[in-house]
Amino acid sequence: MNTKTINGIKYIVYEAGMVLSDETKSYYFENDLDYDGDLKCLYLYAIKSVTVRGNQDVRGNQYVGGNQYVGGNQDVRGNQYVGGNQYVGGNQYVGGYQYVGGNQDVRGYQYVGGNQDVRGHQDVRYLIVYCFCKYPIRLDRDSDEIKIGCVSKTTDGWNDFFDNKQTISMSAEDRNYKKLAAALNAAIAMRDVLKVMNDKP
């Protein structure tokens, strides 16, 4: 088994037929990868393009020099770099910063914990806003629906809900309730960001 060290991280050089399902191991790909299944690893470093037919779970950083296709959900706990285009068929979570040199198409919701730099066109319908609250707030590019936790209402519906101190599972005097009420305003402002994200450059 050959290995390669980059920036102090020891990678296993991928060989055809390897099973990529160990979150404690890091992998280096010299050639295009077309992986038919779920991929799980610690760090991922690919010189060329990467195709994952199932879900992808990278516990550290990911570097892909070419294009990237993920058929299912993508979870990258660290930073993410994609030199070309990126397609994610499900939801996308990136814990650190994200750079995509080409176009980006995310069919589910998207969360990026750090800075995001997408040089091409973005096609992202859902955006998740956390704002240090008990429940995430999901925005929908294509409708006026806002989802807080597992409950969906229109923007006016949520404004009325908080203005009238309506409750579902917590008191209106609860700190978590007050945080959600304040975070709603931030989320509504973020809808404009979501729309700009999807404008063609």
Those residues with Cβ within 8 angstroms of residue 186's Cβ, 6 or more apart along the chain or in another chain: 129, 131
- Cα(49)–Cα(15) distance, integer angstroms: 15
Give the pLDDT band (50/70/90) at residue 159: very high
Pick from 46, 55, 53: nearest CA to 80: 46
Give the pLDDT band (50/70/90) at residue 148: very high
pLDDT tops 70 at residue 147:
yes
- Residue 197 has what pLDDT? 85
Q: Distance between the two ends of the chain, CA-based, in angstroms?
A: 45
Report the side by side order of strands in the sheet with 3-6: 3-6, 9-13, 27-29, 44-46, 62-64, 80-82, 98-100, 116-118
- Residue 188 has what pLDDT? 93
Using a 10 angstrom Cβ sphere, with 0-12 exposed, 13-18 middle and 19 or more buried, the burial of residue 17 is exposed
Give the pLDDT band (50/70/90) at residue 195: confident
- Cα(88)–Cα(52) distance, integer angstroms: 10
pLDDT tops 70 at residue 201:
no
- Residue 198 has what pLDDT? 85
Global pTM reads 0.85
pLDDT tops 70 at residue 121:
yes
Question: Mean of the pLDDT values across residues 39-51?
Answer: 98
Q: What ranges do the domains of the chain cover?
A: 3-120, 129-194
pLDDT over 90, % of the chain: 89
135 within 8 A of 181, measured Cβ to Cβ: no
pLDDT tops 90 at residue 69:
yes
190 within 8 A of 180, measured Cβ to Cβ: no
Question: Mean of the pLDDT values across residues 83-112?
Answer: 96
Those residues with Cβ within 8 angstroms of residue 92's Cβ, 6 or more apart along the chain or in another chain: 73, 74, 106, 108, 109, 110, 111
Question: Mean of the pLDDT values across residues 61-88?
Answer: 98
Give the pLDDT band (50/70/90) at residue 200: low
Question: Mean of the pLDDT values across residues 184-191?
Answer: 92
